[in-house]
Structure 1
Amino acid sequence: MRTLKSLWVPLVALLAMLGSGAWLVAQDDDSRRGYGPWGGTGMPMMGGAAESRWLSGDRDPVDDLAEARDRAEDFAETLGPGLRVGEVMRFANNYYAELEESDGAKATEVLVDPSTGAVQLEFGPAMMWNTRYGMMARPGASARLSAEQARATAQAWAEDHDGLTVAEAEAFPGYYTLHTLEGDRIEGMLSVNATTGAVWYHSWHGEFREMSEGA
């Protein structure tokens, strides 16, 4: 049994997520690999706060990375002009995709429901910490932590969680996201708040399967 993956979440973030209908649960390692973020309906667990933050599916299953990329591209068009899809990953519970600005800068992270094709902003940091596309956007906010400092913070957290290591820190508006590694294999991912240094493990994905770096 791995150690408990309990993470501190600011009270305001918790209240906002509960208000939006998103699920936030304390999880151990067994539930980390089994938690399905889409609930039992296959629909995004969000309210009507911002229609551009989710794209309903047609209940046509998403069978591979290419189809997940297509769905993420459709979502990107609704979220903002010039956005495109970068890295796409397949996990046991969902597909994950990074959205990028036209200049290649990271914009935000999204989830694609493999059962229905529904797409939404990813739970956690993309919703709560992203200062441009999140629920509490603060355009123009500057990062206090560098990528190197964020990686050091993430590595210290990982070492306390069964000896995981971390890859390079990728900068999003207001936070950094890093792959967590078991040896040279991707285990999952976590994010570091660029202002506070808080760590948020992405506990909703399940086991990593495969990835595509770009279109």
Structure 2
Amino acid sequence: MGSGMMGNDCSWGPGMMGGHYWQRGDGTPVKTLDQARRHADAFAHRLGLRVGEVMQFSKNFYAELETPSGKPATEILVDPADGDTGIEYGPAMMWNTDYGMHPRGQTGTRLSPDEAQRRAQRWLRDRGSGLTADEPDAFPGYYTLHTMRSGKINGMLSVNASTGAVWYHTWHGTYVATSEH
């Protein structure tokens, strides 16, 4: 992320990508899950959401944002270099029907969580990855699943809830650790 990707100041309201997708960090490196959670909390607060799971990868920190009732809302990234925080690229921006670039609310048919997991597993198998798909988290318009190797988190992918398309999260790097709320 960082200032080169989305501009040099906070983007809240009309503008690039239609609104509240990015918040500038304080320039201090983010090295721990607790520090990442603080940045995620500041971002979530502006959307009226709360932070759930926070994960550390070699290239970024990832956090799930939830509604006040605990329902998955969207996914964000925290840049470890400077604390810049924003909606995760890929499915959270493109497929999220409530918080993405094209919000439109839930429409059309929706794959069941079991079908999303089957599609993810088939996609992984067809690529000979040796990975398995964990249980899905249902976000507005899509599901996100951890990919597992020998019962341990390896990465993640998402499945579009309407089309069944799969989008592998290539931007995280190597999984490091998780912090639940």
Normalized against structure 1, the TM-score is what? 0.77
- Cα distance change, pair 116–143 in 1 and its aligned pair in 2 (3 A): farther
Determine whether 1:58 maps to 2:34. Answer: no
State the shift of 1:77 in Å: 1.5
Counterpart secondary structure, 2:116: helix
CA distance in 2, matches of 1:88, 1:44: 24
> Could you list the runs of 5+ residues in structure 2 that have no partner in the other structure?
8-15
Residues matched between the structures, number: 172
Q: Does 1:93 align with 2:59?
A: yes
**Equivalent in the alignment of 2:166:** 199
Q: Cα distance 1:63–1:169, how it changes in 2: closer, same or farther (>3 A)?
A: same
Report what 1:16 is aligned to: none
SS in 1 for 2:173: coil
| Conservation of the 8 A alpha-carbon contact between 1:86 and 1:99 | yes
Q: Is 1:212 aligned to residue 179 of structure 2?
A: yes
Distance of 1:86 and 1:76 partners within structure 2 = 10
* Structure 1: tracts of 5 or more residues without a match: 1-37
Match of 2:92 among 126, 139, 152: 126
User: What is the Cα-based RMSD across aligned positions, in Å?
Assistant: 1.3
Q: Deviations over 1:124-144 (max 9, x none)?
A: 000000000000111232552
Aligned to 1:49: 17
1:107 alignment partner in structure 2: 73
Matched, 1:139 2:105: yes
Q: Where is the strand percentage greater, Structure 1 or Structure 2?
A: 2
Report runs of 4+ in structure 1 exceeding 6 Å deviation: none
Q: Supply the AA of the counterpart residue of 1:102.
A: P
Residue 49 of structure 1 and its aligned partner are, at CA, apart by 2.7
Aligned counterparts of 1:172 and 1:182: Cα–Cα separation in 2: 24
Residue of structure 1 equivalent to 2:151: 184
